[in-house]
Each structure stands twice: as C-alpha cells, then as structure tokens.
C-alpha cells in the first residue's frame, strides 16, 4: 500500500471522512429526536450544542495547532444512542489510522487533505468559508468521544494543571535551535556561551507546559468484571454514560476556570533542575 499514489490514499480518506460525517449525523439525529438527560459544564442549554461539538473540526484564526477546543458535558445514553456513539468513534479511529498511514507514505498529502475534506460536505464548507476558516483541524477530527463502559453512580470533575511534555535533546540540537534565533541578540549569545560550557554528550530536556485539562473521575454503580470500581480520564468532548434508567449520575463540578497554581505538589524525585537553563528554548538540565 505504501507504493499507492497519493490520490488513491486521499480517495480512501475521502470515503472514511464521509463515513464519519454519516455516523455523526446519525448519532446527533437520534439524540435530537428523543433528547436524553444532558449536563453541560458551562451551565447553558442549547439543543444544537451536541451537533456543534461533534462537527467542530477546523482551525480558528491564530489557533495553535496543538490546541483543541473543549466541549465538556455528560450525556445519559440509552442502548441505541450508545451504539451510535460507538459508530462515531469507530469512524474517527479509521480516519486516525489512515492519516497515520498517509503521513508515513506521502507526508505532503496531509496539507491537501485539510483543504479537500470540508469541500465534500456543503454545509461544513459553507461554515468554513463564512467564518474565514479554511483548514481542517485533524486532531479535532479524530479525537474520540469518551464513553463509560458501564453505568456510573457519580462523576467528580477536577482541573488538572500540572501536565507538561518533556523532550530529550542533545547539546548539538539545542545549539542548532539557538542558531536559528537572532544570534546578534545579547540574550541569545549568553545562552550560546552557557551551552558551550557543557560536555557535548550531556542530555538536556526541552519542556512544554500543557494547557489545563479537565479530568473526570467515574465511580461505577457496580464493580467491573476486572474488579475496578472507578476510572479517571481526561475529557475534552461530551462524556457519554450508559443510563438504563434514563438518569444522569451525581455530578460534582469544579470552578469554571482552572487554578493558576499547579494542582498537585511537585514530586520529590523530579529529575529536572528548578531553574531553566536556556530560557529561549525552555531547556532544562537534569539534576
């Protein structure tokens, strides 16, 4: 398959995107014909919210490509709606798998994919053009809807603000990144001198702080088959829970905005120095 021309890969992606749109339409239509209990974190009530949440798959102007928009809520679903949401997730996973394949086989085709997929659906393309939004946000396209695997008695939502990603880089890689900046600037020259004082084999850490996340702690009505009674997961999309009795679980909500400080204490075994070594690159030394 890796030898397939790019247009064949994109044609298959078109088909998978069509299947996703069909699955979303089926799930949303099913919900709208017989609305089941829903809770929204923002406290608002809007029958079109679920449709917007599932169809929000494009970049806004000046949006960081790593960022995604959140639609936090809880939906009490019957068996038919649960199955429809499972179908949406299967379609999303199929797109994610195929995008990964395209990235490996024809990386340059991803840009074309962002442009062509919305044009296959007039309603979506119209919204994009009216809003000045042209590119599909691939991550928002394939991110899954969180589904609870069993009925839930209560849910405790909480902000998680201590997340960060750490990438190990070499002294040589850090130097190349600094040289791409304005090397006439005094602060860059200072950092280059500091870097030159390190052993060439030393490994450094480049840190990227992540946006606050909403975490849902689920407490099941009955223990699962494996004995677990609760589960924690990050949520950015409506959380769907099985509700045989048609009721929402008890929900504990956090403040509307995330706390500024970290929500958990620093680990005593944290391996990075507390002071940043190369501020322009957010690079730290290991202890």
Answer whether residue 220 is part of any domain.
no
The count of domains in the chain is 2
**pLDDT exceeds cutoff 50 at 220:** yes
Give percent of the chain with pLDDT exceeding 90.
47
Q: Does residue 174 share a domain with residue 135?
A: no
> At which residue do the structure tokens 């905005």 appear?
257
Global confidence as pTM: 0.72
**CA-based nearest residue to 216, from 246, 190, 236:** 236
Q: Does residue 103 share a domain with residue 12?
A: yes
Answer whether residue 233 is part of any domain.
no
Q: Does residue 117 share a domain with residue 77?
A: yes
Please compute the mean of the pLDDT values over residues 29-41 and round it to a whole number: 91
Q: Does residue 140 share a domain with residue 200?
A: no
Q: Does residue 25 share a domain with residue 137?
A: yes
- For residue 101, the model assigns a pLDDT of 85
Is there a contact between 195 and 278 (Cβ–Cβ < 8 Å)?
Answer: yes
- For residue 94, the model assigns a pLDDT of 93
Is there a contact between 49 and 70 (Cβ–Cβ < 8 Å)?
Answer: no
The C-alpha atoms of residue 168 and residue 286 are separated, in whole angstroms, by 10
- Report the mean per-residue pLDDT for the chain: 82
**pLDDT exceeds cutoff 90 at 119:** no
- For residue 124, the model assigns a pLDDT of 52
250 bridge partner residues = 154
Q: Does residue 120 share a domain with residue 194?
A: no
Q: Does residue 141 share a domain with residue 171?
A: no
Q: Does residue 178 share a domain with residue 130?
A: no
Answer whether residue 255 is part of any domain.
no
The C-alpha atoms of residue 265 and residue 67 are separated, in whole angstroms, by 25
Candidate from 6-10, 113-117, 141-145, 226-230 with smallest mean pLDDT: 113-117
C-alpha gyration radius of the chain: 23
Q: Strands of 73-77's sheet, edge to edge?
A: 38-40, 73-77, 239-242
* Band of pLDDT at residue 110, cut at 50, 70 and 90: low
- For residue 262, the model assigns a pLDDT of 57
Rounded (10°) angle between helices 186-196 and 171-179: 160
- CATH number of the domain enclosing 182: 3.30.54
- For residue 135, the model assigns a pLDDT of 53
- Please list, residue by residue across 220-238, b when 16 or more beta carbons sit within 10 angstroms of its beta carbon and e when fewer do: beeeeeeeeeeeeeebbbb
Residue 137 neighbours by CB distance under 10 Å: 20
Q: Which helix (H) or strand (E) holds 115?
A: helix 109-119
Q: Does residue 176 share a domain with residue 279?
A: yes
Structure tokens at 203: 């490994």
The C-alpha atoms of residue 254 and residue 103 are separated, in whole angstroms, by 39
Please compute the mean of the pLDDT values over residues 217-236 and round it to a whole number: 94
Q: Does residue 188 share a domain with residue 97?
A: no
- For residue 211, the model assigns a pLDDT of 77
**Higher local confidence (pLDDT), 121 or 218:** 218
What are 135-178's pLDDT values in tens digits?
A: 566 667 778 999 999 999 999 999 987 667 788 999 999 999 89
> At which residue do the structure tokens 């962002």 appear?
114
Q: Find the domain containing 44 and state its range.
A: 6-148+238-244
Q: What is the DSSP letter of 218?
A: E
Candidate from 14-28, 70-84, 183-197, 250-264 with smallest mean pLDDT: 250-264
**pLDDT exceeds cutoff 60 at 66:** no
Q: Does residue 204 share a domain with residue 140?
A: no
Please compute the mean of the pLDDT values over residues 283-287 and round it to a whole number: 91
Candidate from 94-98, 121-125, 252-256 with smallest mean pLDDT: 121-125
- For residue 208, the model assigns a pLDDT of 83
- For residue 107, the model assigns a pLDDT of 74
Give percent of the chain with pLDDT exceeding 70.
79
Q: Does residue 198 share a domain with residue 116?
A: no
- For residue 131, the model assigns a pLDDT of 43
- Quote the strand ranges of 53-211, DSSP E: 73-77, 152-160, 164-170, 203-209
């Amino acid at each position: 398959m890796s030898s397939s021309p790019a247009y064949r890969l994109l044609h298959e992606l078109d088909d998978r995107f069509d299947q996703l749109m069909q699955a979303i339409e089926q799930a949303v239509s099913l919900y709208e014909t017989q609305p089941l209990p829903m809770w929204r974190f923002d406290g608002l009530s809007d029958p079109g919210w679920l449709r917007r949440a599932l169809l929000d798959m494009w970049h806004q102007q000046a949006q960081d490509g790593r960022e995604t928009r959140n639609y936090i809520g809880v939906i009490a679903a019957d068996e038919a709606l649960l199955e429809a949401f499972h179908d949406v997730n299967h379609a999303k996973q199929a797109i994610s798998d195929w995008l990964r394949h395209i990235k490996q086989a024809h990386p340059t085709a991803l840009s074309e994919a962002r442009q062509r997929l919305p044009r296959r659906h007039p309603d979506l393309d119209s919204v994009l053009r009216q809003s000045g939004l042209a590119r599909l946000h691939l991550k928002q396209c394939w991110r899954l809807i969180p589904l609870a695997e069993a009925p839930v008695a209560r849910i405790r939502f909480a902000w998680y603000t201590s997340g960060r990603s750490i990438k190990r880089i070499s002294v040589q890689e850090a130097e190349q990144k600094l040289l791409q900046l304005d090397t006439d600037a005094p602060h860059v020259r200072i950092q280059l001198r500091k870097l030159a004082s390190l052993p060439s084999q030393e490994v450094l850490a480049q840190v990227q702080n992540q946006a606050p996340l909403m975490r849902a702690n689920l407490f099941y009505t009955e223990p699962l088959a494996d004995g677990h009674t609760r589960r924690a997961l990050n949520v950015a999309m409506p959380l769907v829970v099985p509700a045989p009795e048609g009721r929402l679980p008890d929900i504990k909500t956090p403040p509307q905005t995330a706390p500024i400080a970290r929500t958990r204490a620093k680990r005593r075994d944290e391996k990075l120095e507390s002071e940043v070594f190369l501020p322009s690159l957010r690079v730290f030394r290991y202890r």
